[in-house]
Structure 1
Amino acid sequence: MFTRRRLLTGAAAVALAAGLGLPLTAGDAFAQAGAEGRPVDAAKVMLPEASPLPVKTLGNADAPVTIVEYASMTCSHCAAFHTGTFPELKKKYIDTGKVRFIFREFPFEPVATAAFMLARCMPDDKYYPMISTLFETQKAWAFGNDPAAGLLQVARQAGMSQQDFEKCLTDQALAEKVQASALYANKELGVNATPSFIINGKLYSGALSIADMDKILTPLLAGK
């Protein structure tokens, strides 16, 4: 049986917050809806080293606005955004070609790393559905005494065998690449909370509502 002990001592065992010294906070509150975001170096956001794994995008590649989200799979504020705000954001802005959306891994503990690894082990067209499923079922697997068993159940429901599950979570190279995304974002872009969003070169933190997104995106899309 693939036990919690094996999960936490295997490929996903490097705790980013403690082991790598990241000053991270899960889900800082968004101070004021529509407030000015902090400028970041837009060129650094899109460098190859910003995403050691293949970039996962939704929407029109030529959209006038790009949103890059940094999230952790065990962050309850991230789950709230993805189950509450994201469906409306997708319908209103991504599916209409106004926004290109990029999701990037920002795990701040080993169980989150393992969950991201599972999503990365899915076929390309199943990545975002797996991310959605993990957020929707977060309470069932993320905070109990046996997250490995919970993750295995989610993986099986997604069509992954136990053998593939174990193979995925013992892929040290994959674990390191997932974690490298957070290291880069923290060091080079100043991301230190989840969820965080870089929207056309400005950094916003917190589980933004669709009203918050409207206030940020409307000026950027004026005349588009």
Structure 2
Amino acid sequence: MIHGPSLAIGAGISAVVLVIVFLGFDGISNESELVMQPTPTIQPEGPARVTMETFLANGSPILGDSNAPITLVEFGDYQCHFCNVFFHSTEGDILENYVETGKVRMIFKDYNIIGPDSINASHGAHCANDQGMFWEYHDILYNNWTGENNGWASSENLLRFAQEIGLDVDTWSECMIDRIHSKTIVASNEDARSLELTGTPAFFVIGPDGEVTSLFGAKPYSTFQMTFDSELEKLS
């Protein structure tokens, strides 16, 4: 399943770029600011303040009609098994029946809980977004998923994915090395912790009246359908 048009494989990558990328990517997963952190316990003064920005900021570009009455926010990890299950078994039906019809818009947010490759994959998607191809990269990641912490999201493969969807690989590689989206990724993880999330995927459906419904785990399509239809009834 691909968001947007399929693109031909890009031109070959120079040896210089390959050397730079493989030397540079290793530093990404070792950033102190991106170290895996457990979900914090609530402090005596109370939990972090949750606002609408907690759901909408620090994420992907909107998929669908920006004026759609319902917003579906997913917090995911590209290495997560059940995130991959949702992508392959449920997301396509949501896109066809709700996103493409202008009823729902989607936002993906990072919650990196599995390992360093999860963080690197998030960087890859955000760097692809600089070229207007976040969702294409998001899709190719899930379409190449083979497990957790087994190397499928290695630096070499992330580079290959960028080439396969037709990105300017030199520009994408420079973005990866410079880690220019670190603050966004860190902030998204902080948003997830503010919501006290303990796993992925986690979904939040924001209705036309601003009411938020939470759905945890790879729920079947029927669950999303029932939730969306309930929110759409508020418009009639």
Query: TM-score scaled to structure 1, two decimals?
Result: 0.76
Letter in 2 for 1:131: H
In the other structure, the counterpart of 1:71 is 76
Residue 116 of structure 2 corresponds to residue 110 of structure 1: yes
User: Structure 1 pair 94/180, CA: closer, same or farther in 2 (3 Å)?
Assistant: same
Return the alpha-carbon distance in structure 2 between the equivalents of residues 150 and 141 of structure 1.
Answer: 15
Return the alpha-carbon distance in structure 1 between the equivalents of residues 142 and 154 of structure 2.
Answer: 14
Write out the 4+ residue segments of structure 1 that deviate beyond 6 Å after TM superposition: none
Residue 183 of structure 2 corresponds to residue 176 of structure 1: yes
Letter in 2 for 1:62: N
Q: CA deviation at 1:124?
A: 5.0
Number of residues of Structure 1 aligned to a counterpart in Structure 2:
203
Residue 27 of structure 2 corresponds to residue 21 of structure 1: no
Residue 198 of structure 2 corresponds to residue 196 of structure 1: no
List runs of 5+ in structure 1 lacking aligned partners. 25-40
In the other structure, the counterpart of 2:93 is 88
In the other structure, the counterpart of 1:12 is 29
In the other structure, the counterpart of 1:37 is none
User: Do the aligned residues in 2 keep the contact of 1:107 with 1:179 (CA within 8 Å)?
Assistant: no
Return the alpha-carbon distance in structure 2 between the equivalents of residues 16 and 202 of structure 1.
Answer: 31
Return the alpha-carbon distance in structure 2 between the equivalents of residues 72 and 170 of structure 1.
Answer: 21
Residue 150 of structure 2 corresponds to residue 134 of structure 1: no
User: Structure 1 pair 165/211, CA: closer, same or farther in 2 (3 Å)?
Assistant: same
Larger Rg: 2
Secondary structure (helix, strand or coil) at the match of 1:46 reads: helix
In the other structure, the counterpart of 2:15 is none
User: Do the aligned residues in 1 keep the contact of 2:29 with 2:116 (CA within 8 Å)?
Assistant: yes
User: Structure 1 pair 23/68, CA: closer, same or farther in 2 (3 Å)?
Assistant: same
Return the alpha-carbon distance in structure 1 between the equivalents of residues 166 and 147 of structure 2.
Answer: 18
Higher relative CO (Cα under 8 Å, sequence separation at least 6) belongs to 1
Q: CA deviation at 1:72?
A: 0.8
Return the alpha-carbon distance in structure 1 between the equivalents of residues 185 and 97 of structure 2.
Answer: 30
Q: Aligned to 1:222, which of 225, 233, 236?
A: 233
- Written as runs of structure 1 = structure 2, the 5 A alignment for 1:47-58 is 51-52=57-58, 55-58=60-63
Return the alpha-carbon distance in structure 2 between the equivalents of residues 178 and 88 of structure 1.
Answer: 28
Residues 207-216 or 119-128, more deviating: 119-128
Q: CA deviation at 1:62?
A: 2.9
Secondary structure (helix, strand or coil) at the match of 1:96 reads: coil
User: Structure 1 pair 125/133, CA: closer, same or farther in 2 (3 Å)?
Assistant: same
List runs of 5+ in structure 2 lacking aligned partners. 1-18, 41-47, 207-211
Secondary structure (helix, strand or coil) at the match of 1:185 reads: helix
Post-superposition Cα deviations, 1:137-196, rounded to whole Å, max 9, x if no partner, equal 122896228811221211221234554443222223412321221112212x22221111
Q: Aligned to 2:192, which of 165, 185, 198?
A: 185
Return the alpha-carbon distance in structure 2 between the equivalents of residues 97 and 42 of structure 1.
Answer: 31
Query: TM-score scaled to structure 2, two decimals?
Result: 0.73
